Amino acid sequence: MISRRRLLLGAGAATVLTGCASAPETRAVDSRTYCMTTPRTRRTVCTPEPVPNAATEADARRFEAAPGALTVYVVRSAWADAVRPLAVIVDGRSPIGTLPRSLIRLRLAPGTHRFAFEWNGQLQSVDVSGEAGDLRVIELAGSSLPLDRGYHWSDADPAGAKLRARNTRLIADAQWTTSAPR
């Protein structure tokens, strides 16, 4: 028969492990920012800017190219992603703050555009090219786990990125159809 002490220790260990393994809690606050809270530390991090409304998000989730513009989606939805903001910079413009399970839709002028973010003191960048009416999907992949290679850009699996985007929140929707200086 199991002793009371062993039963309590087992229940306590299961509770602690459940808290560590559970996914971060997400919500949109009154100011319409997107926030995440880690279950273990209860630390809350929010996007710096308000998120688009529900109608804009529904439109973005169709993953359709905009006529006359290069449409680029940035997906951040890694399974072991830490609740840390990463700021994505496109062609040197104002940064867009991302959180895990977030999505960005950008309609850009046709041509080549540089997407960048900084992680551990190093700038990670990727060039995305396309013509008017093209659609590109890139993914901000990786995690902050010690054995992982860190955050990086990935465009290897656009169809998979679209599937992973189903559980994300649209946090930015911008149309920059004029070129920005590099």
What pLDDT digit, counting tens, does each position of 23-63 carry? 444 444 445 888 888 777 778 888 888 999 999 999 999 99
Domain ranges of the chain: 52-176
pLDDT confidence of residue 180: 54
Beta carbons of 126 and 90 less than 8 angstroms apart: no
Across 23-151, the runs of DSSP E, i.e. the strands, are 25-28, 34-37, 44-46, 70-76, 86-90, 96-98, 102-108, 111-119, 122-130, 135-141
Lookup: tokens for 109: 């002028």
pLDDT confidence of residue 16: 40
- Options 3.40.50.2300, 3.40.50.2020, 2.60.40.10, 3.90.870.40; CATH for 52-176 is 2.60.40.10
pLDDT confidence of residue 3: 57
Taking only the tens place, the pLDDT of each residue in 3-12 is 554 544 444 4
pLDDT confidence of residue 68: 94
